[in-house]
Structure 1
């Protein structure tokens, strides 16, 4: 069972769900090669103290905004795993490659998501869901 399935079965406001979500988040950030600064932006511009607390993977009730952001990242990861099922590494690299398609308009998906808005994560997920068909 993957992190998304665990979260779907759990009470998303529970401390255990927060732990699972953070574990997923930091694992995918490592695979994407994101810096701590980028990770803080993707989590909603959280402060250093909160970021370092989260790095310890506590059982914590995450704010709704953080839950939503991680949920979109899970969907993005899942779509990339499907699209690049023969080469997962290509999926991890995809987020760094320039993309001429809207909404990216020549930027990488990661650069686009680093605008810091939830809608940018949602748009990236929608784009990938559309590509997947």
Structure 2
């Protein structure tokens, strides 16, 4: 079993990651529909993650685990790029005129474009911070 597979089978680690991603998406201003699409989870699982129950555990598949990782990595990139909370949490909901975003917000792109859009958005933001991943 690989390290990633072991982590996916650890329900408490999955729950911790999902709770963190849900908190970040909420701060970005994502709707429930956007958040569930980005993470590819049900509305009920998202609601449970937002409750932050310390006893709650969840099983995730590799795709869901990867999506959580990308949300956390996008947040890490934004923390390097922006010093102020307004931009740190507001950037993802702002229309962006950069060629990659074409006047859409990054949140629109990642909620409508699947895992590749999530990955491409991460790579774009990571390049702005100097691609230190």
Task: Please give the TM-score of this superposition, normalised by the length of structure 1.
Answer: 0.81
Pick the aligned partner of 1:125 from 122, 126, 130.
122
Structure ranking higher in helix proportion: 2
Equivalent residues of 1:41, 1:116 under 8 A apart: no
Kindly state the Cα deviation for residue 98 of structure 1 after the two structures are TM-superposed. 1.4
Report how many residues are paired: 123
Q: Is the 8 A contact 2:78 2:88 kept in 1?
A: yes
Written as runs of structure 1 = structure 2, the 5 A alignment for 1:85-124 is: 86-124=83-121
Unaligned runs of 5+ in 1: 1-7
* CA offset digits 1:89-110 (Å, max 9, x no partner): 3111111111122321111100
| Equivalent in the alignment of 1:4 | none
The CA RMSD over aligned residues, in Å, is: 2.0
Q: Report what 2:38 is aligned to.
A: 42
CA–CA separation in structure 2 for the residues paired with 1:68 and 1:37 = 19
Please list every run of 5 or more consecutive structure 2 residues that lacks an aligned counterpart in the other structure.
Answer: none
Structure 1 consecutive aligned stretches of length 4 or more whose deviation exceeds 3 Å:
46-57
- After TM superposition, the structure 1 = structure 2 runs for residues 1-133 of structure 1, keeping only pairs within 5 Å, are 11-44=7-40, 46-57=41-52, 58-84=56-82, 86-133=83-130
Q: Residues 29 and 93 of structure 2 are in contact (CA less than 8 Å); yes or no, is this contact kept in structure 1?
A: no
Alpha carbons 1:95, 1:108 under 8 Å: kept: yes
Q: Which has the higher contact order (CA 8 A, sep 6+)?
A: 2
What is the TM-score with the length of structure 2 in the denominator?
A: 0.81
- The separation in 1 between residues aligned to 2:30 and 2:117, in whole angstroms, is 17
Deviation of 1:69 (Å): 0.5
Q: Deviations over 1:40-91 (max 9, x none)?
A: 11112x333444444455212211111010100011000001111x213311
